[in-house]
Every structure is written in structure tokens, then in C-alpha cells.
Chain A
Amino acid sequence: MSLPDRIDPRPPRRIYRWDLDKTYLQTDFESLRDLFRTAFQKAHEKVAVPGASALIRELAEQGDSRLCIVSGSPKQMRAVLEEKLKLDGVQWDEFVLKDNVGNLLRGRFRALRGQVGYKLPAILESRVNAPVEAEEVLFGDDAEADAFIYSLYADLIAGRVDERVLSQVLEAGGVYPDDAARVHEAWKKIPIADPVRRIFIHLDKLTPPAHFTPYGPRVVPIFNYFQAALVLLADGHLTAPQVLKIAVEMVQTAGHNIITLSNSFQDLLRRGLPLQQAAIALSQAMEGPNALLKAMRPMPDILAAFSKRLAALGTQPPPPRVQAVDYVSLISHALPRTHKGRTLKPPT
């Protein structure tokens, strides 16, 4: 871990944990050629997922949050990744990268591709020092095992997973004994609390949303960060003007438009997320002291389209069912992408 980009002595009220590749950065590593190109890209050549940097900046605006990044990229890329974050105006508090060279030299080949043995101890160790009341929102993607690891992390610190299940999962996930020991050790130091509010999964590979149903409504698959902003507005992490600013940036810099944003809004409604109040708040944000936002074209048209999309649905679907997560049966989601036991079939 390097020195944080900022040192804030105040205890954080909120912690935002981010993955980097395919969550914050648009990264291709499907082929060896892509992997090679990604490794040698300069900071200014790297491209953030539309809206991601704007969302991070707006979340930091309150001044009482902490940004913790845990990425599977190798430590050798630290300088270029830090430079990229600085170019985007993103300030972080923790930035953990994977010691792939160390794993290679020690012959730990499973650890090169495995995610559970890397990310789970890293985020648990980070939580050890966090105030018990600090709530968390986690951001990952559908390329690896983020939904599984983040959900397991949330349920571990909330006391919903027992030691027997944890041991079974770590064994099935091919986690090396020393990493498993780190998981157990960090977990035991964390006081029981239920701080994880949301887990956003950026659908980089456009995995069907139903694939994440077994993780319950805490996990929200998103096609873009405007969707995350809408949910965070409903959850009280962002204000309506902040969401409008994120939307405007996505329109101005990433080619989003009235259709993509209103479709994104309706997509969440159809999945049972209660966003009606958020839509009202957005409309109200255009009035009074924020009337300037009206000038932010095409926001008034987009909000009008929201009403149409809402009306088009008829009755609102019921919210998704809360259920216990069966980690042992879901372990195949957490295996490396090329593992023969990996399955991405939607639940039946």
C-alpha cells in the first residue's frame, strides 16, 4: 500500500470501495494483445468509464467519506494508475494493488488469477481500522468475482456467515492457507456491524442482471454510473443537483442522451428499485436556487422523459425479495474466468 493521496484525520462517516479495471477504467484484457497494450498504456491514454470520475468527485464533496481502491492490477502499474486518477481529479485514501511478481516468484500460480484470496483479506484488513458506524458502498464489475466477494465481505462483518461456511468457501475458492489465515484474523478483529448499504456491479460484459439475483437487492447491477447516482440519491448519499451534474457530464463527454438516460432510469424501476421520490427530487432541483440547472441542456427534456418512462410501466413492480446468500453454492461465480468450474448461467 502506498501513502494515501490525502491524510484526513477525521473519522469517515462513509467508505466507498472501488475496483479499478472495468469498474473505473475501461480496460480490455480479453486477449494477450489487449493485456500487453493495457500494461504499456500511458496515464492519459487510459479511459475512465463514463460518469465514474464525476460520481467519485461528487461522493467526496461532503468531505466525510473515504475512497479505498483495491485493484487486481500489478503493483508495477501504480505510478501510471495514480497519475490517471490525478488527471481525473480523483483523490484516494487507500490504494491496494496486487503483488503478481511476488506470487510468481513464490510459485503461487492460483493467486495470479484468483480474486477471493486477494480481495477479501485486503478489504477486511482495511475495515479493521474503520469506525464501526462508518457505512460502506462498494463498486465492482461483472468480469470477475466482485459481487461474490463484496457480498461475502458484507455478510461476514454483519455476522451472517459462520466460520464453517467461510472455511468451505475459502477452500473451494482455492485460497492459499496464508491468505485464508489473513481473512480469519482480520475478520475476528472487526466488531459486528451491518455497514454495507449497496454493492454496484458495473455490467462491463453485459451479464444478464438476473445472474446477480441470488445476492439479493443489496447488489445492484448497473449499465452506467448514472444508474448508480440515481440509487445513491434515493439512498441519501447524493443530492439531486449532484446527480444532475453527473448526468450532464455523461451527456457532454460520453455521448449519452435523453434516450439512454431515461431508459437507464426505467431499467432500475423495472427491477423494483423505488426511485419515484428521486425523480421528484430531480425535478425540484431545477427550481429555486438551482434554477441555473435548467440551462444544463438537455436536463429538462430528460426529466420529462423520466415521467413518460414511469407512466409507461403501469403499476410499479414489488421490491426485490431479501434472502440469505448461499455462498457455498455460488462459489463457481468466484472462480477465475478461465476456470472450468466457472459458471455464469443465470439462476433458474
Chain B
Amino acid sequence: MVGKPQHITIAFDVMGSDHGPAEVVRGAAQLSLESPHIHALLVGDRPVIDEALAGIKHNGERISVHHAGDYVGMDEKPGEALARKPESSVAVAARLVAEGEAHALVSAGNTGAGVLACKRHFQLIPGVRRAALATVYPTRGVRGAKQDPFSLILDVGATVEATAEDLVAFAVMGSAYARIISRNERPKVALLSNGVEPQKGPPRVVEAHQRLSQMPGLNFTGNVEGIDIPRGTVDVIVTDGFVGNVCLKMLEGVHDTVMELAQYAYKESLRWRAGLAMLSSGIERLKDITDWEQYGGAPILGFDRIFIKAHGRSKARAIANAGKVAAKAVANELGTAIQEGLAK
């Protein structure tokens, strides 16, 4: 486990994001101007990084570069790509973190390749059998000292079939993460099921409910249903990777459909257009509150090192924020917090 360092170095997988390497470099450059205690280690094609860096405002004392000549594309199969490209940027970045050259990894590239690279180079925290991919989503309620409108849901795809033991570990990991990143002292944790009653759901969920109810350090509130996800009834929702991924994709689909409907309304009728115009400041405010870029990225929890997966469409601000989230997790010893939570 990594101790509490005075200066934190974050390895950025520069290649493979939807907006190309320059956007990730811009994010790291922004971070170098805003956060004196964070150093960025940019991993990727050096000439490309150098060219991008030379033309933007940055602090050269807080940035270094590690050349990696290859990268995994968004459409590549993770396992095959990593086997074919051992010197890809995400693999090299994960290796550098494992070797202690950096404290955490941020990538906006291929999610599967990121998780697989971490599996190969990082160790699972004692008590954790499987890692979980978490994500944040905007809700109606706010939580924690930061008045955070985002809740956490995990797992959304790292572990397709989770046992009761895995679900318990996910709950502890999610709670520790929400406590540290959202500054929410006692985050409410719930299991996603098809009813709020403890006996509802498949056997693994029922068993996990039983175990979680007996954990003293955890603010476990029981089961929640799908309807509670956007309501923000709880701060951390625990499920297996299969269900979590389906939920996540459905939330994204609903969002896209609402946006399309609004565009349709805007084009279709002058009255509707006028109505939307009158609502525009409110819509903008709503957009600000639910802007995922302020959150930066989602963590892969369960490893002894931190990995923040930034959205593939991340712009510079989101990348910089992902770096800050990673640094915060390192500074507050997230791994130790998870380990202590599991030991209770």
C-alpha cells in the first residue's frame, strides 16, 4: 500500500481518448497551473506530447514525460490489444504506477484495456476478490460537505457476476470513496434489488443484505429499486457489473433521448422554441449542476493503486479534475480506508 506522500504524481495515459492526445496534455497542463502539490507524468508518444505542451501555458517543473510508442484504440479488444502492444501507453502507465514512479493512473482511453492493465500490474487489496468499476450520476438530492449532486454506483462492468462476498466488498469500497471524495462523513449505502424488502432479489443479494446489515462501520440502508437511482435516495448503490452496466447504459440512453426530444421541440414549433428559450437559464443551471466534467472521472476500486477512468469524451477541464480526484484519493489513503473498512 502506498503511504501518504507530500507530493503526488499522477500518471496520465495521454493516448487513446476521443479528443486525441492534445486534449489530455491540455488537462495535465491546466493541473500543473492549478495544483502545486500534484505532478503530472505524461505517458505516450513523446514528440506528440512535446509539440502539444510547447504551445500551451504550463508549469514545466510539475510535468514530466515517459515515451510510449503504442496505444490501445477505443474500438480494439482489450485483451488482444494489450497482448499485441505491451508498450502501449496505458500498459506503460500502469507499470510505472506499480513501480512507484507515480501514485495513481488517469486514463480517458479504452476502459477494458485500462482495467486489464491494472489487473496485470496492481495488487488487489487484502479482502477484495474482484475490482469494481464505479461511476457517478446526477441525482435530485445533494450530499456531503461539497453539496455533491452526484451519487456513486458500482460495479458498472468490471465484474459481470458478483458473489455476496463481492457485493459486500463493493459496498465498503464505495462507502470509503464517497467519504473521501465527496466529503460525505456517513454515506448512505444500499443494494440494488427488485424490492426494498430484505428477502427480495436473487440469493447473492439477499445474503449480501444480511451481511451488510451486521457491519457496524457502514451506513447500510437496505435495498433500493431502480426508481431510486435518479432520485438520489442513497449515496452509494451496489450491484453486480451486469446489472450496473445495463442501468448505466439506460441512464445514458434516457439522457440522449431527452436531448433529442428537446432538439425536436426546438425545430418543430415556434411556441415550443419560445418556451425553451424562456427556460434556457434554468436549463443552463441544471447543466452546470449535473456537469459530469466537474467530477473528472470514475474510479476502479479494489486495487492497491488508484485508477481514475475519465470519460472518453473528456475535455481538458475533466482531465484536470480527474487528476485532482486521483490525487485526493491518494492523499487520503483510499486503499487503507478500504482495507480498514473490510477488516471491521
Contact = CB atoms under 8 A, between A and B. Distances in A.
Interface residues of B, number: 24
Nearest to A211: B55
Contacts of B47: 317
B313 to A, nearest CB: 25
B66 A259 contact: no
A216 interface: no
Nearest to A308: B101
B64 interface: yes
B62 A317 contact: no
Contact of A260 (B50, B58, B62, B101): B62
Given A257-B7, A259-B7, A259-B9, A312 B55 contact: no
A38 to B, nearest CB: 23
Interface residues on A, range: 20 to 34
Contact of A266 (B7, B9, B64, B101): B64
Contacts of A267: 60-61, 63-64
Given A257-B7, A314-B46, A317-B47, A208 B58 contact: yes
B330 to A, nearest CB: 14
Contacts of B67: 312-314
A263 B53 CA distance: 14
Contacts of B39: 259, 263
B69 interface: yes
B69 A314 contact: yes
Contacts of A203: 60
Interface string A198-223: 00000100111110010000000001
A264 B64 CA distance: 8
Interface string A172-209: 00000000000000000000000000000001001111
Interface of A: 203, 206-210, 213, 223-224, 256-257, 259-260, 262-264, 266-267, 270-271, 308-309, 312-314, 317, 346
Given A224-B61, A313-B65, A313-B67, 11 more contacts: A206-B59, A207-B57, A223-B59, A256-B61, A262-B64, A263-B62, A266-B64, A267-B61, A313-B66, A317-B46, A317-B50
14 contacts: A206-B57, A208-B54, A208-B57, A223-B60, A223-B61, A257-B7, A259-B61, A260-B61, A270-B50, A308-B101, A312-B64, A312-B65, A346-B54, A346-B55
